[in-house]
Amino acid sequence: MKRLFALFALLFSVLLVWGQEDPYARLHEGDRLPDFEVAMADGTTLRTADLEGKVVWICLWASWCPSCRKEFRWLHQNEEFAALSQQSDFVFLPIAREENSATVTTWLRKKGYDILSGVDPDRKVYELFAEQEIPRNIIVGRDGAIISHSCAYSRKALGELINQVKETLN
């Protein structure tokens, strides 16, 4: 009986939340990518203007976040994502929230991820996109408009994001 009650409670919660917009998002589909610059872990700076004409996947994350770790592991092992990463008109831009270059570089190296990440120790870039919650993934089209903005780790959602990027690149 307890299991049945728990199942109904879970189903009710899913139905209640399903279809509701992310209450913490500050930008949504169709909005323009805001102007920003972010320090990269290698000491360079990336500006929004550097992304013009490209399809961009912004991943807002942190090395201490369990869901972010799962997401990075899944992306690292996904062959379709690896193929996308080789395309010159696609940019994967992870930005670590509230972390410094040394922490991010050490964590990525330790995990064997050959990815350059931005760092956002003061949440200035993060707060352009959301108030709270990570991981967040934002897909931006060549025209600078946001195609998708999602939150929370889900293999299914990541697969859908990969498909969105592939469709946008074609």
For 25-169, CATH gives 3.40.30.10
Q: Where are the domains of the chain?
A: 25-169
Give the pLDDT confidence score for residue 26 in this predicted structure.
87
> Using an 8 Å Cβ cutoff, are 59 and 134 in contact?
no
Give the pLDDT confidence score for residue 17 in this predicted structure.
40
Give the pLDDT confidence score for residue 124 in this predicted structure.
97
DSSP string, 53-91: TSEEEEEEE-TT-HHHHHHHHHHHH-HHHHHHHT-TTEE
Q: Which residues of the chain have pLDDT under 50?
A: 4-19
Give the pLDDT confidence score for residue 22 in this predicted structure.
87
The pTM assigned to this predicted structure is 0.86
Give the pLDDT confidence score for residue 20 in this predicted structure.
53
Question: What does the pLDDT look like over 37-59, one tens digit per residue?
Answer: 999 999 999 999 999 999 999 99
For tokens 């080789």, name the residue: 86
Give the pLDDT confidence score for residue 3 in this predicted structure.
55
What CA–CA distance (Å, rounded) separates 55 from 146? 10
